[in-house]
């Protein structure tokens, strides 16, 4: 029974940092080889970072990627890793255009290459714009076993390279991935890998990126399954990790010499089977609860956006409300309290409990805290411009925005916007006011989930014997922007539980007016919510980026024209 030790290096590269990413690959490969690995698998486009978007169209960048790959092969050999079979994702370019590729490195050179066959073009993906597809099918002979290579979307498609490798009769498939996080995606992903393994009649080693890249978060969740679909090992989510797995597979002998429709290439890397040894048991990390998983995604997205863009600290307005409290707690978890600066910005309408709740949160978390009253600024605008009504309300939010941006310019902090998905959907925010900032950590989090996350985070702290970071009053009190005396969100919005159900259907499910009414929602309420969502598109275009956690986030996932006369209406009103 030939045996092989696999190393799945679940790492966090940075887009465009070819030098840093090369060092990252070298360091994790060195660790893998020290652990006895014969095959080291790294994620999709790890050398360039992923997704590279329009960088893929720059020939200079693709050429630099190929140069980095060639240099990496030599450096691996110099570092004593030349005997290992190292599979690395990178960007290549030929006469047909850019290529999303995986290279096999051994003995200081590139031994084989696989080009991604299926190019996703939905949701956040736009790979038809960038890449040419391949039809190559390298089969690697390593210690008596035949190994195939696939890249991410290839494994999601029926009748693709997985099926072709099954026809060729490989023993093990190596799958490189840049699979972004969505809520509960780990369940879908695990079931898919198990199903494909059974279809191919081969074990699958699935390695995924980890870390944040702009609005996307990669959660890792790398795994190895056997040909029956049983999980042999699984890595944690949201952390870099080296997963060492011993596989014990029966070699199938000579394989098919050709697979119709594919360019089959046989590469012998290590012809002799390894002597048998007692395999080690690899860990299967338990799945996180949904709140823990979402919190981990939000912390990862915020941390990496700040660090990869070289900010040292963040600043945000602390209103005493639930949204700013959750964002502050996320920031402290992501960056540490010394890198987080909270500012209370009371106006003449701010309640005493808002100020005290903000102060309480600062003491609980240990972040830097100051109070900057905005009443004199508001008065100056109101008196100069003779503002009343909505204009007076909005100038309060804009004075807060100007204050935060001023502190950002003076002290170098990144401003965090604290709005949630529900408010953003219906336009319940002020452009150049509470919408200002460089990053919006809970932009894709519905209001009801904001409360759920706050309760979970406090409970998790209590279980560890720590001080819960979020004041109970911030969780339990009625939400309000406090822009006029006695104002509540419920004055202009339905109950958030109802609102979020409608938004889930309309924004994420693209449901029609008739379908939402058929689901039992009041027609007038549906019409009001839909109108608010449609009219707020221009605001969302000007909102900062924020971490995606759902199936359809505003921005990359959902793109509608600003000038748009179409409205969802009752069928009898539609023309």
* Residues acting as catalytic residues: 44, 116, 152
**Among 44, 46, 40, residue whose Cα is nearest residue 7:** 40
Contacts 24+ apart (CB under 8 A), 253-256: 255/139, 255/146, 255/168, 255/169, 255/170, 256/167, 256/168, 256/169
Name beta bridge partners: 213.
Answer: 216
CB 425 within 8 A of CB 507: yes
CB 208 within 8 A of CB 10: yes
Interatomic CA distance for residues 499 and 489, integer angstroms = 12
Contacts 24+ apart (CB under 8 A), 494-501: 494/525, 494/529, 496/422, 496/446, 496/447, 496/448, 497/448, 498/525, 499/422, 499/426, 499/447, 499/529, 500/422, 500/446, 500/447, 500/448, 500/449
172-177 and 203-208 as β-strands: parallel, antiparallel, unpaired? Answer: parallel
Burial 532-557 (b: 16+ CB within 10 A, else e): bbbebbebbeebbbbbbbbebbbbbb
Name beta bridge partners: 370.
Answer: 343
Q: How far is CA 396 from CA 39, 380, 401, in A?
A: 60, 11, 9
* Cis preceding-peptide flag for 154 (omega within 30 of 0): no
Name beta bridge partners: 91.
Answer: 100
């Amino acid at each position: 029974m030939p045996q092989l030790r696999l190393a799945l290096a679940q790492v966090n590269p940075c887009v465009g940092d070819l030098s840093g990413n090369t060092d990252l690959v070298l360091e994790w490969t060195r660790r893998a080889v020290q652990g006895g690995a014969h095959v080291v698998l790294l994620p999709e486009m790890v050398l360039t970072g992923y997704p590279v978007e329009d960088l893929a169209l720059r020939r200079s960048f693709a050429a630099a990627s190929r140069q980095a790959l060639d240099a990496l092969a030599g450096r691996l050999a110099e570092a004593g890793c030349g005997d290992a079979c190292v599979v690395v994702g990178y960007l290549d370019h030929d006469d047909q255009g850019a290529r999303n590729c995986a290279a096999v490195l051994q003995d200081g050179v590139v031994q084989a290459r696989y080009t991604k066959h299926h190019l996703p073009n939905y949701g956040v993906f736009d790979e038809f714009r960038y890449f040419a597809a391949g039809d190559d099918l390298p089969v690697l002979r390593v210690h008596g076993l035949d190994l195939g290579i696939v890249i991410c979307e290839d494994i999601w498609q029926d009748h693709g390279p997985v099926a072709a490798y099954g026809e060729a009769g490989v023993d093990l498939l190596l799958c490189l991935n840049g699979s972004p996080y969505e809520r509960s995606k780990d369940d879908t992903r695990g079931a898919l890998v198990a199903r494909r393994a059974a279809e191919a009649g081969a074990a699958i080693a699935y390695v995924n990126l980890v870390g944040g890249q702009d609005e996307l978060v990669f959660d890792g969740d790398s795994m190895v399954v056997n040909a029956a679909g049983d999980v042999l090992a699984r890595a944690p989510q949201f952390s870099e990790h080296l997963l060492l797995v011993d596989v014990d597979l029966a070699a199938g002998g000579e394989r098919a010499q050709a697979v119709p429709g594919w360019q089959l290439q046989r590469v012998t890397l290590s012809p002799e089977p390894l002597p048998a040894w007692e395999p080690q048991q690899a860990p299967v990390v338990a799945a996180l609860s949904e709140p823990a998983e979402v919190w981990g995604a939000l912390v990862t997205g915020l941390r990496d956006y700040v660090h990869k863009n070289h900010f040292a600290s963040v600043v945000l307005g602390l209103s005493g409300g639930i949204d700013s409290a959750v964002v502050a707690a996320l920031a402290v978890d992501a960056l540490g309290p010394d890198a987080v600066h909270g500012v209370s910005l009371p106006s003449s309408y701010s309640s005493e409990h808002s100020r005290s709740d903000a102060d309480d949160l600062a003491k609980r978390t240990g972040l830097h805290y100051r109070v900057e009253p905005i009443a004199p600024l508001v008065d100056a605008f109101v008196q100069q411009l003779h503002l009343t009504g909505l204009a007076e309300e909005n100038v309060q939010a804009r004075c807060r925005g100007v204050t935060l941006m001023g502190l950002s310019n003076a002290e170098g902090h990144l401003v965090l916007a604290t709005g949630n998905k529900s408010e953003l959907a219906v336009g319940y925010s002020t452009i150049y006011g509470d919408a200002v900032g460089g990053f919006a950590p809970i932009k894709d989090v519905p209001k009801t989930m904001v409360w759920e996350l706050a309760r979970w985070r406090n409970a998790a702290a209590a279980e560890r014997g720590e001080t819960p970071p979020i004041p109970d009053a911030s969780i339990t009190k009625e939400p309000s922007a406090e822009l006029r005396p006695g104002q509540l969100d419920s004055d202009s919005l339905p109950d958030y539980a109802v609102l979020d159900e409608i938004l889930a259907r309309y924004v994420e499910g693209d449901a029609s007016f008739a379908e939402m009414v058929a689901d039992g929602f009041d027609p007038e309420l549906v019409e009001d919510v839909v109108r608010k969502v449609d009219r707020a598109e221009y605001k969302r275009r000007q909102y900062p980026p924020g971490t995606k956690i759902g199936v359809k986030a505003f921005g990359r996932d959902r793109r509608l024209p600003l000038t748009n006369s179409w409205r969802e209406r009752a069928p009898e009103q539609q023309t």
